[in-house]
Amino acid sequence: MEDQLDMADKKVLVEVVKMAQKRGMSGAKGAWKDFLNSYDKQLGASLSDPSRRSKEVLAAFLKTFTDENDLKLFAKVIQCHSNRALTELFKEESPQHKSPEQRLVRLTLEHPQYPSEYSFPSYEEEWVVIKLKKKSKVMRSTNLVAVDCEMVLCEDGTEACVRVCVVDRNLKVKLNEFVNPGKAIADYRTEITGIAAADLDGVKCSLSDVQTSMKKLLSHGTILVGHSLNNDLQALKLDHARVIDTSYIFKYSDAPFQRKPSLNNLCKSVLGYEVREKGAPHNCLDDACAAMKLVLAVVERGCDTNIPCLHDVPDSEVAKLLLHRIPRIVPIGELHRAMPGEFRVEPKPSKNARGDTYSALAVFSSMEEAHRVYESLEGTLEKDSFGRSQKVITFHLSTGTEANLCVRETMHDNSLGQLLKKRAAEMLDSGELKKLKASKIGEIEVAAVNQCTDHLKEIERLKEELRQKDLQIVNRCEDHSKEIERLKHELSQKDLEISVLHKIVQQHKEKELRRKSKKF
């Protein structure tokens, strides 16, 4: 560990020391400030900002720690930084010198949503960071494995991985395990996961066991493949830098990058088959194989990554819930914990990159599903700044801490018009419109006229109120002008008085001088 600390950049050591401060960690010479008081007799703890201390002082403090768990934590932080540095170097290399697999890794890393969706709490105790080595062979490896996981909702409000499947590029199964979450399950989500309580009876495989297996599979620079892979890594509590996300490398033609194609749509467009029938639950193994086949279609056949927009789910029936006032400390992958149902998350560009919160869209396959989920949310009902209804909800992060955000119903462009047209057509078909009597229509017209009259009266009232306000402002301005003139006059009088007094003083001084001169 001492060698690692000596070789680490100062910014890495600063982050480690700040983390030790935040967690209240102490070494053989106490906490950070205690150490400074004993180490630096001149300044002591008066200069406690780690970023203003030398690399030698930071390393000296961290070398006072001997607890094995503390040292493991420090090593994990240093490894995360090393992985990031190697990843940045990899991105800067010329694409001409890269294999097709490497180019797809780079394409994933350069996606606009990568920084937010792949920002994991990797320093947490249960997380595992896959070590990247600086050897060129490791960074240029073309070995591929694909993964997919199924998650359930636990009683403590967190999600847990209960099944994981991994296949290699030959579609040979390398891992296919049910996982014991080690805590009570509130919802198996059987209609989505295809997993029931009976499937987990007697299962002894733990998440730690799966992480150990994944570390072996991902050694020597193996590239991990998956669709919306950030969700699987979050479930596995695994941080791996060499990834290919098929939801990133394929994109709809003439569509914004935030609109990512589903795995089913990709399989229909690229592979010519559906990975599952509509309404059927997921299958871990099928999804892992599908993700690998999609990557191989690009690597081996040079398949185009721009795909046409499919209409199995028309735009008019796509519905979104707006999630906003999300604390920055909440990773975007954790938003699936906030609401039930199946949806994808699209981050919204932030106008204030340094703000404490951000916004995102939860995209559902139908307006009915989005509305059902919104109605099922338990939270405080309030109005936003435009008077629209929204709910403030509380949910638990994977760390167990609570977070709050606001949820508001919204619709895709033209969705409201489509709904109205659909409803009108239904009314015509059912003869409902014919049942409206002329008298009823007349009542509606009279009500509309009365409403318009009321609005006109209100407009006139507001105009009169505005005129009165203007008059008050004019009167105040006149009063202010008079006051200014009065003060100017008073100031002029004071200047005159001062001038007269100044002359009197001068005369007095001259008389005094003459009196003294006569004496001599």
Say yes or no: 262 and 359 in one domain. Answer: no
Quick check: is 34 in a domain?
yes
Q: For residues 30 and 65, give the distance between their C-alpha atoms in angstroms, rounded to a whole number.
A: 9
Quick check: is 486 in a domain?
no
Domain that holds residue 26: 1-84
Among the candidates 412, 436, 462, a domain finishes at 412
φ, ψ at 360 (rounded to 5°):
-155, 165
- Indicate the residue type of 126: E
Quick check: is 106 in a domain?
yes
- Indicate the residue type of 121: P
Q: Which residues contact 30 (CB under 8 A, 6 or more apart)?
A: 38
Quick check: is 456 in a domain?
no
Quick check: is 203 in a domain?
yes
Q: Which residues contact 400 (CB under 8 A, 6 or more apart)?
A: 156, 158
Least confident stretch, 25-34, 37-46, 327-336, 426-435: 426-435
Candidate ranges 110-124, 175-189, 473-487; pick with highest mean pLDDT: 175-189
Least confident stretch, 216-225, 241-250, 351-360: 351-360
Res 139: pLDDT: 67
Among the candidates 273, 307, 341, a domain finishes at 307
* pLDDT beyond 50 at 483: yes
**Cα–Cα separations (whole angstroms), residue 16 to 58, 76, 316:** 9, 10, 50
Q: Residues 364, 319: contact at Cβ < 8 Å?
A: yes
Say yes or no: 266 and 346 in one domain. Answer: no
Q: For residues 93 and 136, give the distance between their C-alpha atoms in angstroms, rounded to a whole number.
A: 12
**Sorting pLDDT into bands at 50, 70 and 90, what band is 413?**
very low
Q: Residues 129, 114: contact at Cβ < 8 Å?
A: no
| pLDDT tens per residue, range 65-93 | 988 888 888 888 887 777 777 777 766 66
Please give the mean pLDDT across all residues of the chain. 82
* pLDDT beyond 90 at 119: no
Both tokens of residue 46?
């008066």
Res 445: pLDDT: 54
Res 8: pLDDT: 82
Say yes or no: 80 and 165 in one domain. Answer: no
Say yes or no: 158 and 296 in one domain. Answer: yes
Quick check: is 405 in a domain?
yes
| pLDDT tens per residue, range 488-502 | 888 878 878 887 888
**How many domains, in total, are found in the chain?**
3
Residue of 46, 48, 44 lying closest to 20 (CA atoms): 48
**Cα–Cα separations (whole angstroms), residue 300 to 100, 137, 140, 287, 473:** 8, 21, 17, 20, 77
Residue 244's domain is classified under what CATH number?
Answer: 3.30.420.10
Say yes or no: 296 and 183 in one domain. Answer: yes
* DSSP letter assigned to residue 269: I
Q: What mean pLDDT is predicted for residues 196-209?
A: 93
Say yes or no: 76 and 154 in one domain. Answer: no
Say yes or no: 110 and 239 in one domain. Answer: yes
Say yes or no: 4 and 132 in one domain. Answer: no
**Sorting pLDDT into bands at 50, 70 and 90, what band is 177?**
very high
**Sorting pLDDT into bands at 50, 70 and 90, what band is 448?**
low
Say yes or no: 270 and 343 in one domain. Answer: no
Say yes or no: 106 and 72 in one domain. Answer: no
Give the 3-state secondary structure of residue 406. Answer: strand
Res 227: pLDDT: 95
Residue of 343, 321, 315 lying closest to 414 (CA atoms): 315
Q: For residues 508 and 398, give the distance between their C-alpha atoms in angstroms, rounded to a whole number.
A: 88
**Sorting pLDDT into bands at 50, 70 and 90, what band is 437?**
very low
Among the candidates 274, 307, 340, a domain finishes at 307
Residue 381's domain is classified under what CATH number?
Answer: 3.30.70
Which one is predicted more confidently, 51 or 318?
Answer: 51
Say yes or no: 296 and 387 in one domain. Answer: no
Quick check: is 162 in a domain?
yes
Res 93: pLDDT: 66
Give the 3-state secondary structure of residue 402. Answer: strand
Say yes or no: 303 and 341 in one domain. Answer: no
Quick check: is 54 in a domain?
yes
